[in-house]
Amino acid sequence: MNRRTLIIAIAISLISTGSASFAQSHSHDGAKVISTPEDVKWQPAPAIFPQGMKIAYLYGDLAKHEPFTIRVMMPAYSVIAPHTHNLDEMLTIISGNLDHYTGPKMNPSEGLRMEAGGFVHLPVNMGHALKAGDSGAILQVSGVGPFGMTYVDPKDDPRHK
């Protein structure tokens, strides 16, 4: 069997056996697999996030120059005040909903309601803020570290309260 035929046969085999089988077969080869939401390990978020938020470190080291993915659990009506990041940020709403604001202020008339499945890419140093809806929200944040977060108004930084 030539190499091309072998690659096609493997691809067909993987497709026909389903993605769950693919994930399981690669979980021992250095792949990071989280099969269900119940497998996500939540912990209190670092002090730079408002009190009551939780974080799950899915992949990577936020302190290193490498890809990372985290999830942030925001309680109902919680707010992350206007802030910037030192990197491009990809944000996906996993569950719940929130209002997303861009710029240095949270002008209520300028918030964009985002539902589960919504996505936003924020370029480096773009100011933005988040306010969770009535059921809270879980966000997935990805980028290439190191991860940094700076509040537009230092008084909004929870570490100084």
Mean pLDDT of 26-30: 57
Which structural domain range is residue 20 located in?
1-29
Q: Residue 114 and residue 29: Cα distance in Å, rounded? A: 36
Q: What is the pLDDT of residue 16?
A: 34
Whole-prediction pTM value? 0.80
Q: Clarify whether residues 3 and 57 are in a common domain.
A: no
Q: What is the CATH number of the domain that holds 118?
A: 2.60.120.10
Kindly report, residue by residue over 82-99, the tens digit of the pLDDT.
999 999 999 999 999 999
pLDDT band at 108; cut points 50, 70, 90: confident
pLDDT band at 31; cut points 50, 70, 90: confident
Q: Clarify whether residues 59 and 15 are in a common domain.
A: no
Q: Write out the E strands in the chain.
A: 43-44, 54-59, 67-74, 79-85, 89-102, 112-115, 119-122, 128-144, 149-151
Q: What is the pLDDT of residue 34?
A: 87
Residue 72 clears pLDDT 80, i.e. is over it:
yes
Q: Clarify whether residues 19 and 93 are in a common domain.
A: no
Mean pLDDT of 64-88: 98
Q: Clarify whether residues 61 and 17 are in a common domain.
A: no
Mean pLDDT of 104-115: 91
Closest of 54, 23, 24, 51 to residue 40, by C-alpha:
54
Q: Clarify whether residues 23 and 59 are in a common domain.
A: no
Percent of the chain with pLDDT over 70: 83
Q: Clarify whether residues 91 and 152 are in a common domain.
A: yes
Q: Residue 74 and residue 119: Cα distance in Å, rounded? A: 16
pLDDT band at 30; cut points 50, 70, 90: confident
Q: Clarify whether residues 5 and 82 are in a common domain.
A: no
- Whether residue 34 is contained in a domain is answered as no
Number of domains in the chain: 2
Can you give the C-alpha Rg of the chain in angstroms?
A: 19
Q: What is the pLDDT of residue 23?
A: 33
Q: Clarify whether residues 6 and 69 are in a common domain.
A: no
Q: What is the pLDDT of residue 35?
A: 87
